[in-house]
Amino acid sequence: MSLTLYNTLTRHKETFEPIEPGKVRMYCCGVTVYDYCHLGHARSYIAWDVVCRYLRWRGYQVHYVQNFTDIDDKILKRARTEGSTMEAVSEKYIAAYFEDMDRLNVLKADEYPRATHTLNGIKRLIHELEQKGVAYAADGDVYYAVRKFPNYGKLSGRKLDDMEAGASGRVENPEEAKKKDPFDFALWKGAKPDEPAWESPWGSGRPGWHIECSAMVREQLGEEIDIHVGGADLVFPHHENEIAQSEAVTGKSLSRYWLHNGMVNVDGEKMSKSLGNFTTIRQLLDEPLEILGGDRFHPMALRLFVLQAQYRKPIDFTGEAIAAAQNSWHTLTEGLLFGFEYGQSLGWSDVADTSFGDPTCMRIPESSEAVRRFQSAMDDDFNSPGGLAVLFELAKELRRAGNLITHQGQADRSAEDLRQDWQILVCLAQVLGLEAKPEPTTTQSEGKNNDTAIEEIIQARQAARKAKNFAESDRLRDLLAAQGIALIDQPDGTTRWHRG
């Protein structure tokens, strides 16, 4: 079976074949660090995290690079309003980015290059573009001449002439006046007063936005990479421009596959900074929510919410969706914690090991139906909803078995079967970055002391039931329920109980 993925470049699903067998070079356009990340960012980076995890699970050696844009007008604006510096603003939001992504269990990329650390590469690239005759200097700025690059538009599928005809409401400003063509874009911007600037052959200034990615890809991964990813809103002009910059210099294809994630919508409209309809990740996770009865939204539930849609489709962010995801996560959690909850009573031999429950130490049968179905879904352009269906089936079956153990004393399947299902669930969930940690167990001693008292109450209740004094019986049930003790009357007349 082979992995297929939808390539924006060709608008088709294609079989994945890396340039170098077994190895994947992957680049992701990261954030411009001038504010906290919102759900759109969360969606994007969770999606690519899963792509990365899945490729590794499939045996590829992945080199994953994601940048930070730390030179930008919006950062400067922020610095001004905060009486701070561009550097300080960047550092603050880079740290915040990592905090947020850690909570969402997004793995670290291998490298995080920054524009401010890539100035030499950027200047070298601009110089080479000038030599190739596709860039021109204009009064301190340097622009890319899009008409000089015959393939311009190949990614986004647009033609310059068509766009020009329909371009609406283009505001005239001094920068526009310097351009030979309205679609030319800045590679280098001449310094303005009170702005950070770097020396260059074209005078003091700073790089344009698109050029940094071309330079960083080249520095970190080389002239040709396997997969380039980012939000669908980056297709044009950002990725189109990246292709123009890189390919004009190298003459090689920048990336074999271009993957783009769908947008997060609110009330059917794209969530974005400019529309002001965004919710930040930390806002969503930190605030008690009415729709959840005052509970907080679990970070893994957010992850689940994202993965319940295929990465290319838009997702609608609604209260109902939050509640559904939270409930779904609860179901999945019960399955994921099964081993911790019941492994001991099932007589599993390794429950006391420190590595117990660690998916990296588990061996699961690749030929099993569940693994096969999971892989076949994910092989189809990372169809995570299909993969999740497998996880839910396993989780629900384990929950059923767990309930039987709690309520009837034993499950109807062998300890070995259950062990295997649990391990498959934990491992596959890990591929999607979904993890449940067991709660720290309530102190054993505290529990033990109460046990005899509880038993006595149960005895009293038994007596009441025998005497058909159900009012008293129910009173005692409620009494214990108030302490978190649940009673289960068995068909044979005995009563089991458990906490929680």
Partner RNA sequence: GGCGGCAUGGCCAAGUGGUAAGGCAGGGGCCUGCAAAGCCCUUAUCCCCAGUUCGAAUCUGGGUGCCGCCUCCA
> According to CB under 7 A, which residues from 437 to 476 bind RNA?
465, 470, 473-474
Asked whether position 380 contacts RNA by CB under 7 A, the answer is: yes
Q: Which of 109, 271, 337, 428 binds RNA (CB under 7 A)?
A: 271
Angle at 53 between CA 339 and CA 321, to 5 degrees: 75
- 372/399 with CB nearer RNA: 399
- 204/376 with CB nearer RNA: 376
Q: How far apart are CA 472 and CA 490, in angstroms?
A: 19
Listed ranges 139-147, 243-251, 352-360, 379-387: which one lies at the site for RNA (CB under 7 A): 379-387
Q: Which long-range contacts (CB under 8 A, 24 or more apart) does 387-393 make?
A: 387/428, 387/431, 387/432, 388/304, 388/307, 388/308, 388/432, 390/428, 391/332, 391/335, 391/425, 391/428, 391/429, 391/432, 391/434, 392/328, 392/331, 392/332
Q: How far apart are CA 156 and CA 235, in angstroms?
A: 6
Nearest distance from C-beta of residue 93 to RNA, angstroms = 11
Listed ranges 55-63, 317-325, 421-429, 437-445: which one lies at the site for RNA (CB under 7 A): 317-325
Residues in contact with RNA, counted by CB under 7 A, come to a total of 87
Asked whether position 114 contacts RNA by CB under 7 A, the answer is: no
- 131/403 with CB nearer RNA: 403
Say how many residues make up the chain: 500
Asked whether position 301 contacts RNA by CB under 7 A, the answer is: no
- 235/337 with CB nearer RNA: 235
Q: Which of 268, 294, 440, 500 binds RNA (CB under 7 A)?
A: 268
Nearest distance from C-beta of residue 166 to RNA, angstroms = 3
Nearest distance from C-beta of residue 439 to RNA, angstroms = 19
CA distances from 58 to 16, 254, 359, 402 (A): 12, 24, 15, 31
Q: Which of 404, 415, 454, 480 binds RNA (CB under 7 A)?
A: 404
CA distances from 282 to 42, 186, 278, 285, 318 (A): 11, 34, 12, 5, 17
Q: How far apart are CA 92 and CA 34, in angstroms?
A: 9
Q: How far apart are CA 299 and CA 282, in angstroms?
A: 10
Asked whether position 140 contacts RNA by CB under 7 A, the answer is: no
Asked whether position 400 contacts RNA by CB under 7 A, the answer is: yes
Asked whether position 123 contacts RNA by CB under 7 A, the answer is: no
Nearest distance from C-beta of residue 11 to RNA, angstroms = 5
Listed ranges 19-27, 87-95, 197-205, 377-385: which one lies at the site for RNA (CB under 7 A): 377-385
- 237/433 with CB nearer RNA: 237
Nearest distance from C-beta of residue 20 to RNA, angstroms = 26
Asked whether position 189 contacts RNA by CB under 7 A, the answer is: no
The three-state secondary structure class of 149 is: coil
Nearest distance from C-beta of residue 262 to RNA, angstroms = 7
Subset of residues 346 to 375 that bind RNA, contact rule: CB under 7 A: none
Nearest distance from C-beta of residue 266 to RNA, angstroms = 9
Subset of residues 408 to 427 that bind RNA, contact rule: CB under 7 A: 408
Listed in sequence order, the residues at least 6 apart from 311 whose beta carbon sits closer than 8 Å to its beta carbon are: 47, 50, 51, 259, 261, 262, 382, 384
Q: What is the DSSP string of 360-425?
A: GG----TTSHHHHHHHHHHHBT--HHHHHHHHHHHHHHHHHHHHHHHHHSS-SS-HHHHHHHHHHH
Asked whether position 269 contacts RNA by CB under 7 A, the answer is: yes
Asked whether position 292 contacts RNA by CB under 7 A, the answer is: no
Q: How far apart are CA 325 and CA 316, in angstroms?
A: 13
Q: Which of 223, 233, 341, 435 binds RNA (CB under 7 A)?
A: 233
Alpha-carbon Rg of the chain, whole angstroms? 29
Q: Contact 304/329 with Cβ under 8 angstroms?
A: yes
Nearest distance from C-beta of residue 148 to RNA, angstroms = 18
Binding mask 70-109 for RNA (x = CB under 7 A): ----x-----------------------------------
